[in-house]
Each structure stands twice: as C-alpha cells, then as structure tokens.
Chains A and B, each alone.
Chain A
C-alpha cells in the first residue's frame, strides 16, 4: 500500500511526509538502518538522482545562477520529490524483507488460494540456496587443490576453467533435484489438486493495526486525488 501511495502522490511535500512515515515504520519495526550496508548505496543513489534534477532542470524561478549551473525552485522540488519516492519504495522493500518470514508468507498465500505447486516452487528454491552455496565451495576447493588457477589470461584457459566449474555444478544440481523429486513423489506430492495445511498463521493486534493504518492512508490519498 505504501508503494502504491508513493506512485499516487504527486507533490514533493506529500512524498516527504510519506518518507517520514516509512522511517517511522522502520523505527517501530526495529529495522537496523545503521547496520544495513545497502542503506549507504541507497543514500548515494538518492543524492545522485536529486543532483541530476537540481543541475539539469532549468524550469521555474531561478534561485542560484552561476555560469555553468543554474538552480531553480522547480528543480529542487523535483529533486526532493524523486529522491523521496525512490527512498520510500526501496526502504519499504527492505523493511518488508526484514520483517517478513518468506516461508510463513508463502504458506499463508497457499492457504489463501495460491496454487501449492507455485508455492513449493519458491520454497524448494529457497531450500536449495544454502545447498548450492556449499556445492560451489566444494567444487572451488577441489579445483584449488588440483592446481587450477583462476587467471583471466589466457582467455581460453580461463573459459575452460569456468566451464569445468559450471559443468560440475550442473551435475550436482541435477543430482540434487533428482533426490528432491524422489523425496516429494515418495511423499505423495501432487496426489490431488488440494492439500491440507497444518501451519497456523495467527494475526496479531499489530497486524490488524498496520492494515487499518494502511487503508486509512490509501483512502486519504484517494480522496485527495479525486477531490
């Protein structure tokens, strides 16, 4: 809803207020702003986007006029607007990932009607991530121990080394998927179009409160746009 709101709003002041709301949500949900490395990248990207608008937007009342650069009021407003919108969308994404257990989300969506084959496609993919990490380590270690060197030149040798690595990784992936297929088929996966779900996902007061605030926010924006 916040992301939707970020696209519906068209004023720099409204967008700034929305950014403040997102920051407040982050603080309430104890999002580690200072310990998240990507925040630094986000900050510089926002700064870069803002600078482009400040430097290249020549419309509106001129505030500073140097020989090479002209800064206008509209340029500054546009810089704040674009910077805040970008920050809102990225930050709310970070907070979503930080506060949401993907596994719980997927089970909830499947319970709500998402076809379970889609749900388990994502769950099994997530299951494979650490396994592949381990496989990649093992193959790389085996290459190092057999005197394989990762040097870019000569290119032909480098390409051969990469192909060696990928070929083994592919074999390993196929074997892993085979084992998973046996495991899933062996437990009647796909027996019928439906399946039961034993995992209970309970809504807390905070969840209801968040939905309420979100609906109010979106309603207010809709009213402002219509009238």
Chain B
C-alpha cells in the first residue's frame, strides 16, 4: 500500500541527512510502531509520508513515496490527504476552528461532502473515541485527553486509509494515556485502517503485536518485539529507599494555608507542606490538577496567598513575589520558550550573568564535568538548531550552571525516550546529592522517576490527595483507586 524507495532528506542549513536512503513497504491494516531517540527524525519521516516534506519544506529531497503505486511527489497535498492523515504531536496546535463539531466537520466540508452525511460521520467518529458528549463543546474548554480524543475523531471522520499518530500520548496524563490506548485497540481490531504510531511508551502497544521500526541516524531498522523488551530491561536501577523524614536535612520549604487564584478561581490550596534539604519529590496528578501552578507559586511567579517560607543557610525568608529567583531553578516542559541567546555557550551562562553579574562559569568545562558532554561539541551552535533532546538538556544545563538550591522541573520528560529520561534523571540525582539540593519533578513517568525519588505528592483538583514516602506510594495509589498510575509505576 505504502512504498518508500531510497527516501533521503536533508534540511536546508543542516550538515547531516535527517532521513537517509529509507526503503520500506507498509500493507493495509498493519500496525506500525515507529520509535527512536528524541530528535532522530520520526516527525520528519511522518511529514515525508504525508507529502509535506516534498511539497513545503526547503532542503535536499530524493527518492519516492508511493501510495497505491502513485507517487505522492506528483500529487497535490489536498489529493494526498484523501489517502493518509497525520495527527500531529500537540492536538492544541492543529485545531483550526472553535468548536468540536466544526473541527471534525472541517475536513469533510472541504471535500464538499453532503451535510447530512457529515452529521452521521461526526457522530460515528465521536462514538468511536467514546466522546459523544463533547460535540457541542468549545475547543478551549477541553482537557488534554479530550483534545487528543477530538484529534483522533477528526482523523476517523475523514476515513483515510492510513492514519499516522505522532506521539499521541506525549502531552497526556497517565489516565488519558490509557484511554487513548483503548481507542487504538478499537481501531486495530477493525483492521480497516493502517496505523503508524510514533511512540516512546511501547509497553502497552506490545499487546497488539505491532511491527516495530526504529529510526536511527536517518535509517529505519526493523526491531523484533523481544529485542525491544530486552533493550529496555536492565536500564533501570534499584536503590535503597529510606524514610525521608529521617534521612534528610532541615526544612527548606514550609507552606501553610497556601493558595493560588487564577482568573478569580482557586486553582491550588495546600493547608500545610514541608520539604527538607536533599529531598527528591515526584509530583503526580492528572492534567489540570494544579501541579504547574504549585511549581510557579513556589517560585513566586504566580502570586499566592498564605504563608510561604524558604529557609536556606539558616536564613528564613518570607518569599514575596519574585524576590529570590536565584535560589530556584525552574525548567519548563517546552524548551523553545526558554532560549534567549544566539549560542549554546551564551545560553548556559545567561541566567548566571543575570543573577550574579560577577559570577563566572566555563561552559565547556561545565558541560564536560556534568552529563551534558554532547553539548560541549555544540557550544557555538544556535540553540534552536539543536535536536529536541539536546534542547531539553540545554534548558536543564542553563539552570544547573548557577547552582540553585531548589530545582523545580515541570514535565520535562515530554517527548523524551526512556533512555533520555534515565539519563536526565541520573544527572539531576547526581546534582542533588552533590549540592544537597531540593528537587521537585512534575512527571507522568513514575516508573523511572520513582527509582530516584524519596517522596511523592499526588495532586487532585488543586489539592494534595496524598503525600507519602516513596515506599508507601503504592498503598496510597491502591487506596485512592489510581490503578493507571500503579501500572505505570511497574512499567519498565
């Protein structure tokens, strides 16, 4: 059905080919899982299969992609769209209308399908994703999981022969991820459509016996299912877990009757919380539970009410709005929002210079001494030209370079492969131990993060549902019936 022959592509201004002489055949009804390190070119490959690379992107393109023996390079994008549809990584970015109904109807209306038929297809597509109740909702009122459902419903309604899903669960919490896998099962069971899923979280998909392809240095390599599983095992490590209250130093963060309001609504309310020096805290919860507000409130970026004290070097500080940002190191989920300089080396020392004008740091030495060795080869490169994984590491390196005492990491593992997550976690854990720093990590990867964390905070509806020693987290997840988190914790 899809035939790829000698496909190569090099982006304009880049030295290396992102896709390098790829040959591949995909049949109707197949389930393909495409995996690989972050930034290896998976999205580029998806864009090439859908014709966008050959039609819209500047660079050196060679080879052919054919669908049903017709070369897509000679077809219009609107014609290619009849056969193959790409659900992009972030559903938020691909919606073009204001309501769920209009969004699903958009592609069908462009094809001048009869309005009555459109109504039927919208209902069928929403039924397929268990989201009939969303039909009248505004896009902006949807949660992350609901947006992903609508994005998939949009694809189903168009009835293409091939659907490509680019990291469909990367922006979702664990519960929504499980729901999306439930949808895949339904699509896979029907065998009416070829599914190509770009995904890092493969464990769940293994149940459907997919054909696994790995993209590495521009080449597509077929992997056997057991080969993937053996690759994954042994990369996690066990560590002794002790009660955090005994092991760690003095209290660093104290919150009492702490609350945050946004647009007049209370988004976070914490009656009491203490965090000690040297703790590594895993912050869990569904999308919209108040985790990011908690991090921004601690930092002082979002204004909060109540008592908030930070005790460092035996000095007690009532932190008001943005008074001591140098004590904190905040890393956001999207690295692109955090680069303000033209080279990697300037970016590494940018916050350091802002906080401590006389402070010095040799970026090359810093990169080599920490786990950012790969960045030391890119010191003169513009941050925007780095791969996604490198961008993530740069955003963390720029924070660690000024040695903050409290690290606040907000969903930094989005779009990262398990090996990237492990690599980043090792770096952070090493930094924590060396500097006796406090680390709070908002994450949806408890399976890996809890190998390092000593404590977990679980947020629900703007409140802390439970605050437990890492050894007791399982008990609490069972008690509060958060089985999806439990399964994720056991995922290797």
Interface residues in A170-227 (C-beta closer than 8 Å to B): 171-172, 175-176, 179-192, 194-200
Interface size class of chain B, counting residues whose CB lies under 8 Å from the partner chain: 35 or more
**Residues A168 and B340 in contact, CB atoms below 8 Å apart:** yes
**Residues A123 and B101 in contact, CB atoms below 8 Å apart:** no
Q: Which residues of B contact A124 (CB under 8 A)?
A: 96
**Residues B109 and A198 in contact, CB atoms below 8 Å apart:** yes
Main secondary structure of the interface of B (DSSP, over half): helix
Q: Which of B78, B90, B95 contacts A188 (CB 8 A)?
A: B78
Q: In the bound complex, what is the Cα–Cα distance between A167 and B110 (angstroms)? A: 34
Q: Which residues of B contact A141 (CB under 8 A)?
A: 296, 301, 330, 332
**Residues A171 and B336 in contact, CB atoms below 8 Å apart:** yes
A142 within 8 Å of B by Cβ? yes
B256 to chain A, nearest CB (A): 24
B63 within 8 Å of A by Cβ? no
Q: Which of B106, B110, B154, B340 contacts A148 (CB 8 A)?
A: B340
**Residues A175 and B336 in contact, CB atoms below 8 Å apart:** yes
**Residues A186 and B90 in contact, CB atoms below 8 Å apart:** no
**Residues B328 and A145 in contact, CB atoms below 8 Å apart:** yes
A130 to chain B: closest residue by CB: B140
Q: Which of B105, B111, B113, B339 contacts A199 (CB 8 A)?
A: B105
A126 within 8 Å of B by Cβ? yes
**Residues B88 and A183 in contact, CB atoms below 8 Å apart:** yes
Interface size class of chain A, counting residues whose CB lies under 8 Å from the partner chain: 35 or more
Q: In the bound complex, what is the Cα–Cα distance between A175 and B111 (angstroms)? A: 26
Q: In the bound complex, what is the Cα–Cα distance between A143 and B355 (angstroms)? A: 12
B220 to chain A, nearest CB (A): 22
**Residues B337 and A187 in contact, CB atoms below 8 Å apart:** no
Q: In the bound complex, what is the Cα–Cα distance between A148 and B352 (angstroms)? A: 11
Tell me how many residue pairs across A and B have CB atoms closer than 8 Å: 150
**Residues A127 and B98 in contact, CB atoms below 8 Å apart:** yes
Q: In the bound complex, what is the Cα–Cα distance between A139 and B219 (angstroms)? A: 36
Q: In the bound complex, what is the Cα–Cα distance between A144 and B113 (angstroms)? A: 50
A168 to chain B, nearest CB (A): 6
A130-B140, A138-B332, A187-B106 known; A196-B114 Cβ under 8 A: yes
Interface residues in A122-147 (C-beta closer than 8 Å to B): 123-124, 126-127, 130-131, 135, 138-139, 141-147
Q: Which residues of A contact B299 (CB under 8 A)?
A: 145
A104 to chain B, nearest CB (A): 10
A127 to chain B, nearest CB (A): 6
**Residues A139 and B110 in contact, CB atoms below 8 Å apart:** no
Q: Which residues of A contact B113 (CB under 8 A)?
A: 196
A103 within 8 Å of B by Cβ? yes
Q: Which residues of A contact B339 (CB under 8 A)?
A: 168
Q: Which residues of B contact A131 (CB under 8 A)?
A: 92-93
**Residues B99 and A182 in contact, CB atoms below 8 Å apart:** no
B209 within 8 Å of A by Cβ? no
**Residues B105 and A198 in contact, CB atoms below 8 Å apart:** yes
**Residues B98 and A123 in contact, CB atoms below 8 Å apart:** yes
Q: Which residues of B contact A143 (CB under 8 A)?
A: 340
**Residues B98 and A142 in contact, CB atoms below 8 Å apart:** no
B7 to chain A, nearest CB (A): 19
A164 within 8 Å of B by Cβ? yes
B379 within 8 Å of A by Cβ? no
Q: Which residues of A contact B398 (CB under 8 A)?
A: 146
Q: In the bound complex, what is the Cα–Cα distance between A220 and B5 (angstroms)? A: 74
A146-B354, A190-B110 known; A103-B332 Cβ under 8 A: no
Q: Which of A123, A126, A179 contacts B90 (CB 8 A)?
A: A179
A182-B47, A191-B110, A195-B109 known; A127-B337 Cβ under 8 A: no
**Residues A186 and B337 in contact, CB atoms below 8 Å apart:** no
**Residues A198 and B115 in contact, CB atoms below 8 Å apart:** yes
B179 within 8 Å of A by Cβ? no
A141-B301, A182-B52, A186-B50 known; A199-B88 Cβ under 8 A: no
B70 to chain A, nearest CB (A): 17
Q: In the bound complex, what is the Cα–Cα distance between A152 and B78 (angstroms)? A: 50
A120 within 8 Å of B by Cβ? yes
B337 to chain A, nearest CB (A): 4
B164 to chain A: closest residue by CB: A186
Interface residues in A47-85 (C-beta closer than 8 Å to B): none
Q: In the bound complex, what is the Cα–Cα distance between A129 and B77 (angstroms)? A: 27
Which segment of B79-87, B125-133, B269-277, B430-438 sits at the interface?
B79-87
B384 within 8 Å of A by Cβ? yes
**Cβ contacts B332-358/A at 8 Å (1 or 0 each):** 101011111000000000110011000
**Residues B94 and A180 in contact, CB atoms below 8 Å apart:** yes
Q: In the bound complex, what is the Cα–Cα distance between A190 and B107 (angstroms)? A: 10
Q: Which residues of A contact B355 (CB under 8 A)?
A: 147
Q: In the bound complex, what is the Cα–Cα distance between A115 and B435 (angstroms)? A: 62
Q: In the bound complex, what is the Cα–Cα distance between A143 and B350 (angstroms)? A: 10
Q: Which residues of B contact A192 (CB under 8 A)?
A: 112
**Residues A183 and B95 in contact, CB atoms below 8 Å apart:** yes
**Residues A120 and B96 in contact, CB atoms below 8 Å apart:** yes
B429 to chain A, nearest CB (A): 22
**Residues A187 and B158 in contact, CB atoms below 8 Å apart:** yes
Q: In the bound complex, what is the Cα–Cα distance between A141 and B86 (angstroms)? A: 32
Q: Which residues of A contact B88 (CB under 8 A)?
A: 179, 182-183
Q: Which of B94, B102, B325 contacts A183 (CB 8 A)?
A: B94
**Residues A142 and B158 in contact, CB atoms below 8 Å apart:** no
Q: In the bound complex, what is the Cα–Cα distance between A185 and B99 (angstroms)? A: 19
A138-B337, A142-B337, A179-B90 known; A103-B110 Cβ under 8 A: no
Q: In the bound complex, what is the Cα–Cα distance between A25 and B296 (angstroms)? A: 45
Q: Which residues of B contact A179 (CB under 8 A)?
A: 88, 90, 93-94
A residues at B contact (CB < 8 Å): 103, 107, 120, 123-124, 126-127, 130-131, 135, 138-139, 141-149, 164, 168, 171-172, 175-176, 179-192, 194-200
Q: A127-B95, A186-B86, A195-B110 provided; 19 other pairs, C-beta below 8 A? A: A123-B96, A135-B337, A141-B296, A141-B301, A141-B330, A145-B325, A146-B398, A147-B325, A147-B326, A164-B340, A168-B337, A185-B56, A185-B77, A188-B82, A189-B78, A195-B112, A196-B115, A196-B118, A198-B109
List 30 interface pairs A-B (beta carbons < 8 Å), by A numbering.
Answer: A103-B99, A103-B102, A123-B98, A138-B334, A139-B337, A141-B332, A142-B338, A144-B322, A145-B301, A145-B330, A146-B350, A147-B354, A168-B336, A179-B90, A180-B94, A182-B47, A182-B86, A183-B88, A185-B81, A186-B52, A187-B106, A187-B158, A188-B81, A188-B110, A189-B78, A191-B111, A196-B108, A197-B109, A198-B105, A198-B115
Closest 5 CB pairs of A and B: A147-B354, A187-B107, A183-B94, A179-B93, A145-B330
